Chains A and B, each alone.
Chain A
Amino acid sequence: MRAYDNKPGYDKLIFELSSPGRIGYSLPAADVPTSDPAKILPSKHFRATPPALPEVSEVDVVRHYSRLSQMNYGVDTHFYPLGSCTMKYNPKINEDMARVPGFARLHPLIPDAHAQGALQLMWELGRDLAEIAGLDAVSLQPAAGAQGELAGVLMIRAYHLDRGERRTKVLVPDSAHGTNPASTAIAGYRVIQLKSDAEGGVDLLDLERNLDEEVAALMVTVPNTVGLFEPRILEISELCHAKGAQVYMDGANLNAVLGITRPGDLGFDVCHFNLHKTFTTPHGGGGPGAGPVGVKAHLEPFLPTPVVAKTEDGYELDWKRPKSIGKLQAFWGNFAMLVRAYTYIRTMGPDGLRAVSDNAILNANYLMKRLEPHYDLPHPGPCMHECVFSARRQKKLGVSAMDVAKRLLDLGFYAPSTYFPLVVEEALMIEPTETESKETLDAFCDAMIQIAREAESNPKIIHDAPLTTSVRRLDQTLAARQPNLRWTPR
């Protein structure tokens, strides 16, 4: 097991490479008569001093950012088993298609008649996502999953108001991703936390106890954040509908159910998609993503504006949406990410997408079986596309989930998610995805088993980790106590 060589030793910021007078740009000379700014605008409008940006050559820039990239782990270089992040392979054809000039060089405010290809792509993508989710209509506008959630909750709010009801509460399981309660709070609702039962699902008694006519919605993730399918989901959605509440599905874990089951068929009224998870758009170091949201017909009038519509003559942006919740982004969605997702769906087709979920589930269960003897498994399998272990056993030996994660970095892997979901002690959430080979999974399991053994025989090597990355463990306390958020010249 060779540790990844991160070429330690490069420690520069671009400002530190600056040399007065160096340039990295190429601009033409002014070709119009009056080019002196002082002759065009009164002097009070101008900056007193130029901004302190670096002065570097193109060579400096390319070398600097290339060296910085080598200090990163990416899916292209490493197995990246982050739970609920679906770090699957990002196809290169998606990148090529997003860069086709007819897509990349298209201004959003161009008349609809001259963006017919783009509008058709968006319309077809919306239709395909609706089919995948068993829903009736889709908005591609939200910029990320969290914005998709906000759109969903705002639509539910608009729906209730339209019926003359002003409900005040939204139910969110304690195992939910933090964006669920946060989005709910922004939409003006009170968040009521529901307990998880012993199997990690929604505690039905707690749900019934809290379900009243003040509840606007229940938000659940299916499969849930411990990687298990909520077996009584149909009952849950029926209970909610009986009290007039809507049911929202957080689509983060959609990779587990493509072609197998669909949110619409499970009783959900609204669901968001994370294109940067299931649909392979690259994570880019933290974004951009895209979070389209799908709804059943009764929520369609409330979709964000504009909606992409198909007419007799072609496609258009429909702005006549009197009941819409309004806009969440200035324009129509993260189009370049939509191109990538569309390319992916066209590449896979229905059979390909079904194979995605089958293999995602197979890979996760294989990992779970191989690791079961060595780490505590709070909820026995089978799991769906991810499994959650607890490093409880190792914690008793002084090795935490975080320590396990750091040691994995030395052994050539990015770590799984740690300390999420909050309901599992010392949680290690592992999602391999379908794009990983058995060889990679075996190598990862071997590494995890090695760490479990080291926890017993040689915990120091774990506590010292990581040793082979460009920096060792970092002082988070110092960073928070004395925030230094920008470079200043010495």
Chain B
Amino acid sequence: MRYISNTPAQQKEMLRTIGAAGIEDLLSPIPPKARLSRPLNLPAGLAETDLVRHMRELASRNASADDFVCFLGGGVYDHYIPSPINHLISRGEFLTAYTPYQPEASQGTLRTIYEYQTMIAELTGMDVSNASIYDGASSLAEAVLMAHAATDGREQLVISRGVNPLYRQVVASYAEGPRLRIKEVPLGDGATDLAQLKKAVSDKTAAVVLQSPNFFGCLEDVQAAAEIAHAAKALCVVAVDPVALGLLAPPGALGADIVVGEGQGLGVPLSYGGPYLGFFATKTDLIRRMPGRLVGVTVDRDGKRGFVLTLQTREQHIRREKATSNICTNVALCALMATIHLALLGKQGLRKVGELALAKAHYAAASLSKIRGVRLRFAAPFFKEFVLQLPKSPERVVNRLVKERILAGVPLKPFDRSLKDCLLVAVTEKRTRQEIDAYVQALSQAVA
């Protein structure tokens, strides 16, 4: 077995040193009643070439974005992933290192996290970022728990229905324990109804939560929402698309207190749902309430610059049940992907990605809404995603277009029954004019 180095002869030698006749001698504390009396009922081990064949067979039954043109969004996007990222994160010293608890032997990881924290803070317009949470949804859940603590235990969360429904489900699960009450605010033509928002907020509100661009692709008035939150001394929590932040105004400049979101679009593969990258940024006066790891700068004994995990007393391994969160890992390798991605794109590149996605999405929306029976469902301005209202069942349309190797979009019925005739379409900088025109062509035939 190629992952186990010791030969039978070496095993015998080691047993002799231990003074045991065999492994069984070392298993005596285990109650015999609980011992497994048979091998595990699993398929027999496969040799590598057989394994690869099996895996490729499984993979062949998935419609990947390499073989199908992808217009799917909903928080996860087919964005450009520059080639160096995979090579760099595959370096064994990054890939197989542990959490940097021994900082002297982990300066590589610590420096990249410090760079990541800097970039996220800069993008979001906030003072400080942590080293990442699992994904956008859990990051949002951590943010509302933090708002609850930071407002001395206020129990109400006011959440816009523009926030990704899957994120709202995760928030609800996390809200169970502390018994937080969630009040949802409806949309008015694609963006949060601010009048309804104002009515919903009270002195019991810990946080006003919205997403921009929202789940339907529409841009929200973050500044107005922040003002409403602050008037009631609640926190304003905003979930944002980081790819948009090269071009669009950051929530930090608009009054957000905590900014979270999904960083998958920054160089993390689609991978059918994960692992992804939850980023989390806030203001200086809220630092001690932040969940997750933090890396800070310091000096070593010779006065040389060095980096360490810091403010660890917030975390579970010290604070235990009083910790700001139970989180133990961060998604370090995904954060590294994002760091390298942002380094390669740089100041100009991220903006260009935003400009291309914006332009292509609007070209697609304009072309698609010219098809008879098809219209843009919402009038609110949008970035790279939009909702189409279709004259035929979106599920049927999607199935038809799959046959032409086009992944047309996400049918919205499972998320909102009032939108059961609608399709969520995302267009990134990777979609060419030919691909978009082919989509328009295929869709017009499908709804004819």
Contact = CB atoms under 8 A, between A and B. Distances in A.
Direct contact of A and B (CB under 8 A): yes
A71 interface: yes
Contacts of A231: 29-31
A483 B92 contact: no
B377 interface: no
Interface in A326-376: 326-337, 339, 343, 345-356, 358-359, 361-363, 365-366, 369-370
A117 B62 contact: yes
A187 B176 contact: yes
B209 to A, nearest CB: 15
A62 B340 CA distance: 9
B42 A284 contact: no
Contacts of A353: 40, 42
Interface string A60-88: 01101110111111111110101001011
B385 interface: no
Given A101-B66, A335-B271, 13 more contacts: A24-B344, A61-B88, A89-B3, A261-B35, A283-B98, A285-B97, A287-B330, A330-B170, A366-B14, A435-B4, A471-B300, A474-B104, A486-B128
Interface in B240-263: 245-250, 253, 262
Given A34-B362, A362-B15, A50 B246 contact: yes
A109 interface: yes
Contact of A14 (B115, B247, B436): B115
Contacts of A472: 104, 300-302, 304
Interface in B271-307: 271-276, 287, 293-302, 304-307
Which residue among B54, B315, B343, B432 has the maximum number of chain A CB atoms within 10 Å of its CB?
Answer: B343
Contacts of A196: none
A403 interface: no
A233 B31 contact: yes
A131 interface: yes
Contacts of B109: 72, 285-286
Contacts of A259: 36, 39-40
Contact of A282 (B48, B96, B248, B306): B96
B95 A90 contact: yes
A52 interface: yes
A143 B134 contact: yes
B327 interface: yes
Contacts of B249: 44-48
A187 B20 CA distance: 45
Given A108-B270, A349-B46, A188 B349 contact: no
Interface stretch (B154-162, B191-199, B230-238, B352-360): B352-360
A415 interface: yes
Contacts of B299: 474-475, 478
B166 to A, nearest CB: 4
A128 B274 contact: no
A27 B40 CA distance: 51
A354 B122 CA distance: 50
Which residue among B11, B111, B410, B414 has the maximum number of chain A CB atoms within 10 Å of its CB?
Answer: B111
B94 A45 contact: no
A70 B93 contact: yes
Given A328-B170, A350-B42, A472-B302, A73 B62 contact: no
A224 to B, nearest CB: 11
Interface string A10-39: 010111000000111111101111111100
18 contacts: A45-B248, A47-B246, A54-B346, A61-B88, A65-B88, A69-B93, A73-B97, A131-B42, A143-B135, A186-B178, A285-B336, A305-B169, A329-B138, A330-B136, A336-B274, A349-B42, A437-B5, A487-B115
A107 B343 contact: no
A65 B112 CA distance: 8
A319 B414 contact: yes
A396 interface: no
B121 interface: yes
Given A15-B118, A234-B31, A354 B39 contact: yes
A51 B351 CA distance: 9
A117 B333 contact: no
Given A146-B328, A286-B332, A333-B274, A23 B348 contact: yes
A93 interface: yes
A289 B29 CA distance: 31
A329 B30 CA distance: 36
A17 to B, nearest CB: 9
Contact of B298 (A182, A406, A478): A478
Q: Which 10 A-B pairs have the closest CB atoms?
A: A102-B59, A349-B45, A76-B92, A284-B333, A331-B273, A188-B177, A288-B275, A287-B329, A437-B5, A182-B326
Contact of B40 (A73, A89, A132, A486): A132
B275 A334 contact: yes
A258 interface: yes
A106 B58 CA distance: 12
Given A87-B98, A287-B330, A336 B275 contact: yes
B75 A330 contact: yes
A422 B138 CA distance: 29
A77 to B, nearest CB: 6
Contact of A46 (B65, B247, B325): B247
Contact of B30 (A131, A229, A289, A434): A229
A1 interface: no
Nearest to A365: B18
Given A111-B399, A233-B31, A335-B274, A358 B23 contact: yes
Given A68-B111, A77-B92, A104-B270, A346 B6 contact: no
A73 B97 CA distance: 6
A90 B432 CA distance: 39
Contacts of A382: 18, 20, 25-26, 28-29
Given A46-B248, A285-B97, A487-B114, A99 B86 contact: yes
A405 interface: yes
A42 B358 CA distance: 13
Interface string B158-184: 000000101101101110111100000
A462 to B, nearest CB: 14
A350 B31 contact: no
A188 B145 CA distance: 12
Interface stretch (A149-157, A208-216, A241-249): A149-157
B119 A53 contact: yes
A68 B112 contact: yes
Interface stretch (B200-208, B316-324, B368-376, B438-446): B316-324
A421 B271 CA distance: 36
A361 to B, nearest CB: 5
B389 interface: no
Nearest to B327: A146
Contacts of B21: none
B69 to A, nearest CB: 11
Contacts of B346: 22-25, 53-56
Which residue among B178, B323, B354 has the maximum number of chain A CB atoms within 10 Å of its CB?
Answer: B323
